[in-house]
Structure 1
Amino acid sequence: MLRSFLVAAGLALAFAAPAQADRLLIERAQASEAANLPARGQSMAEVEAKFGAPQQKLEPRGGQSAAWPVIHRWVYPDFTVYFERERVVDTVLNKAAPQEQGPAPANRG
């Protein structure tokens, strides 16, 4: 009887954790859409004028050829901005906690 209870409790926890993680990920995606973030196409100067200096400017990557333009990354407390040359190409919210995981990769079969 106790063993059946423990198995049932374990199964309930196993299925509850992914549902909680999915809900949190959806909430973060919705927050990202509603957040005041740099817009695609803004210049570095426009981003810095509106949001201030970033906490960190990471080393640029790419630039080996015209097919691989230089990508700059600026880290702010809540988000990271990705620039291709001098223009915003994407802005993403930073993880809320180190253990947070993003969405599972799409199954491309």
Structure 2
Amino acid sequence: MNNKRNLVAAFTMAAAVAVAALPQAHAEQLTVPVGSQADRSLVKMPANGMTGGSVQSRWGAPMEIRGPVGQPPITQWHYQDFVVYLEHDRVIHAVMKRRK
């Protein structure tokens, strides 16, 4: 019985040493100063669910169109201040472009 305890203790110690020897993972925290964050209230953007026709009638033709890509097809419409993401013909997201 004593040998069994010693054997279990030895295996436990070996496992602890092996885990301690593994490389440590580190995460980096990215912070963006408040002054450089975009203020979404300054730019009117299309709402989710709008049709592509509605977007074009209000904001005009996009400066650039990328896609469609993937399944379901996702298309990007690039305007001066924002990018609109459409799935088929519906807006699924609009994001402000980073100011330079």
TM-score normalised according to structure 1 size: 0.59
Match of 1:38 in 2: 46
Instruction: Name whichever structure is richer in helix by fraction.
Output: 1
Match of 2:85 in 1: 82
How high is the sequence identity, in percent, across the aligned residues? 30
Structure 1: tracts of 5 or more residues without a match: 1-17, 64-68, 98-109
- Cα RMSD of the aligned pairs, angstroms, is 1.9
> Are the equivalent residues in 1 in contact too, given 2:43–2:81 (CA < 8 A)?
no
Distance 1:25 1:89 in 2: 25
Moved over 4 A (4+): none
Match of 1:60 in 2: 68
Structure 2: tracts of 5 or more residues without a match: 1-29
Q: Rg: which structure is higher?
A: 2
Distance 2:82 2:54 in 1: 16
